[in-house]
Amino acid sequence: MICDWNDPEQKTGSADGEEAATAPLREEYPAARETPLFYGKDLEADLSAAEGFPCFIDVLSGRVTPIKTRIFVAGFSRKCGLCITQDPGTHTVSRFHATVSSGPDGVYICDESLNGTYFGSDPADPKSFLRLPKGSEAQLKDGVFVRFATEVFQFRAGERAPL
């Protein structure tokens, strides 16, 4: 199932009738309320190092991770293209949390986790995030914030298609 977040019916529930899209966000959702966005000292240099490919930007550390392959995995495992580090003892991000796939019509993300993948417009406002139903995919738009469990990234579309 492909989610269209402009469709009001998909914002309030999932295909199987569960209220997955409006599930409450975790209380520990990040300290972004107290911490301003930190994009590193030279975000433009980091983005140019991504060579125009789509990328994820960690909103707290400023780390830029380009998406250079058609199939890209985000998760806790070191085998992932976007290896999401988390505090020891915290296991909110799955080893293989979400799959990002690229094609001629855009970049899509599919949630494969227990703790969810969320989309939002304001990283400091947990209420701005909607949950992607597990096993569903949604198209990533330039500038959207993506939350993998409690870790928040901004997606940048780039000009180049992944190889």
Average pLDDT on 126-135 reads: 90
* Beta-sheet strands, E only, within 61-162: 64-66, 71-75, 82-83, 98-103, 106-111, 117-120, 130-132, 137-140, 145-148, 151-156
Could you tell me the pTM of the whole model?
0.71
Radius of gyration for the chain, computed over Cα atoms and rounded to the nearest angstrom: 15
Cα 149 to chain centroid, rounded: 9
Instruction: Give the residue, 17 or 46, on which the prediction is more confident.
Output: 46
Where residue 59 falls (left for φ over 0; alpha for ψ -120 to 50; beta otherwise) is alpha
Each residue of 72-114: pLDDT tens digit? Answer: 999 988 899 999 877 666 778 888 999 999 888 899 999 999 8
- pLDDT bin (cut points 50, 70, 90) of residue 32 is very low
Domains in the chain: ranges and CATH: 2-156 (2.60.200.20)
Q: By mean pLDDT, which of 3-7, 55-59, 116-120 is the weakest?
A: 3-7
pLDDT at 19: 38
8-state DSSP, 90: -
